[in-house]
Amino acid sequence: MSVALLMGSDSDLPRLEGCLKTLRNLDIPFEARVMSAHRTPDDVMSFVTKAPSRGIKVFICAAGGAAHLAGVVAAHTCLPVLGIPMDNPPLGGLDALLATVQMPGGVPVATFGANSGGPVNAALFAARLLAVSDSNLAARVATHREDQAIAVRAKDARLQEKL
């Protein structure tokens, strides 16, 4: 089981590092590609329709501006599609957010934040989807969650020492 991370532009890659790091930390195989809903629609359709034969179970799509990548992917698959609107100028991601979240009924795209938390949350949500049928991954997701709690408690302890 693996994840496909599609981005509309290679300029999105630095902001998607949290997604990649999270997938790697949870030991989830992934493919990452640059594809455009507008400039390479045939490539997107071909990739999406062939992806299940390579074990892809979830698509994560990051795009800015008109942000149609997640919708185009969702139009060509019945697998889960997670959209990350990129916070590009001049509207700071509002255009991408609206394009990603306002999908018509019958073409679902789960939408995540347009800031640094969005890519991480998309990866974690993909992990949770995959963990439904993978007990080993479910254990890794649970460990990740507990590690987060331990980190917060340590930060609180340091704060209490300073006070």
* Range in 11-20, 33-42, 86-95 with the lowest mean pLDDT: 86-95
Residues 6+ apart with CB under 8 A from 43: 35
> Rounded to an integer, what distance in angstroms lies between the CA atom of residue 155 and that of residue 163?
13
Question: Would you state the structure tokens that stand for residue 58, as one six-digit string?
Answer: 């979830």
Token look-up 């490539």 returns 43
> Rounded to an integer, what distance in angstroms lies between the CA atom of residue 52 and that of residue 67?
23
The pLDDT value recorded for residue 66 is 84
Question: Domain 2-134 maps to which CATH number in 3.40.50.1970, 3.30.497.10, 3.30.43.10, 3.40.50.920?
Answer: 3.40.50.1970
pTM to 2 decimal places: 0.94
pLDDT digits (tens, 9 = 90+) for 108-150: 999 999 888 999 999 999 999 999 999 999 999 999 999 999 9
Asked if residues 127 and 28 have their Cβ atoms less than 8 Å apart, the reply is yes
pLDDT digits (tens, 9 = 90+) for 17-45: 999 999 999 999 999 999 999 999 999 99
Residues 6+ apart with CB under 8 A from 107: 71, 74, 75
Residue boundaries of the structural domains of the chain: 2-134
The pLDDT value recorded for residue 89 is 86
